[in-house]
């Protein structure tokens, strides 16, 4: 949701990208805010040399980013006028992507067939992650600590009960208006 104070901070900071981070909780996974070679940036859990290093981080990426569009386009070497040029945009994305880390993860994919039959196939997944934009030396990034209610991620169904009890669900519901009359056929 648009929070005027956060938007104002992003504008005043003159950052290309402002990332919202939350205080890290024990069950949070996926990396967080760290200082690497003297520069504050988001570090993915996949990029850490030891899995337990992740527990040393104090802040977790909420995956909410405030973006100054023209400066983001500059990072890609694009202008607004270039956005209608499909090949130019694709080339710019590939070029910027080549400057960012690539993660390779192994996953199991299930294929169901017949009556209750299932095959499991191991696959490799190649990933580029948005938070790694903070690794780019020419990207001006800022980080804002926000309430857990604004940025909590749920990565497992087992987290839903706690999310319902701690006020997070009520916060999300307060951002929306649902009219049950509109849902009827």
Count CB atoms within 10 A of the CB of residue 143: 19
What kind of fold does domain 4-150 have according to CATH? Spore Coat Polysaccharide Biosynthesis Protein SpsA; Chain A (3.90.550)
Ordered alpha helix ranges (H), the chain: 4-13, 69-76, 86-97, 148-151, 160-165, 168-174, 180-183
d(CA 138, CA 133): 10
Q: What is the token pair recorded at 170?
A: 């009520």
Residue 17 has pLDDT above 70, yes or no: yes
Q: What is the pTM for the complete model shown?
A: 0.81
pLDDT > 90 in the chain, percent: 55
Least Cα distance to 106 among 118, 94, 121 occurs for 121
d(CA 3, CA 9): 10
Interval 146-177: pLDDT, tens: 988 777 777 778 888 888 888 888 888 887 77
Tallying the residues shown for the chain, one arrives at: 185
Beta bridge mates, 103: 127
pLDDT > 70 in the chain, percent: 95
SS3 for 23? strand
Q: Where are the domains of the chain?
A: 4-150
Is 162 in contact with 37 (CB distance < 8 Å)? no
Count CB atoms within 10 A of the CB of residue 82: 15
- Kind plus residue range of the DSSP H or E element containing 31: strand 31-36
Interval 41-97: pLDDT, tens: 999 888 888 888 888 899 998 889 999 999 999 999 999 999 999 999 999 999 999
Return contacts of 3-6, CB within 8 angstroms, 24+ apart.
Answer: 3/146, 3/150, 6/66, 6/144, 6/146
């Amino acid at each position: 949701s648009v929070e005027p104070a956060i938007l104002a901070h992003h504008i005043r900071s003159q950052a290309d990208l402002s990332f919202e981070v939350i205080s890290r909780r024990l069950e949070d996974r996926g990396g967080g805010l760290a200082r690497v070679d003297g520069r504050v940036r988001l570090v993915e859990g996949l990029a850490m040399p030891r899995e337990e290093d992740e527990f040393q981080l104090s802040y977790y990426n909420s995956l909410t980013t405030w973006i100054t569009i023209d400066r983001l386009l500059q990072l890609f070497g694009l202008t607004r006028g270039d956005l209608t040029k499909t090949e130019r945009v694709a080339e710019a994305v590939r070029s910027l992507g080549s400057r960012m880390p690539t993660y390779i993860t192994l996953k199991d994919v299930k294929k169901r067939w017949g009556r209750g039959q299932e095959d499991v196939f191991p696959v490799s997944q190649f990933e580029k992650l948005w938070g790694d934009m903070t690794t780019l030396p020419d990207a001006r990034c800022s980080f804002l600590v926000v309430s857990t209610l604004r940025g909590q991620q749920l990565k497992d169904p087992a987290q839903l009960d706690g999310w319902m009890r701690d006020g997070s669900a009520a916060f999300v519901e307060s951002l929306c208006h649902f009219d049950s009359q509109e849902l009827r056929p």
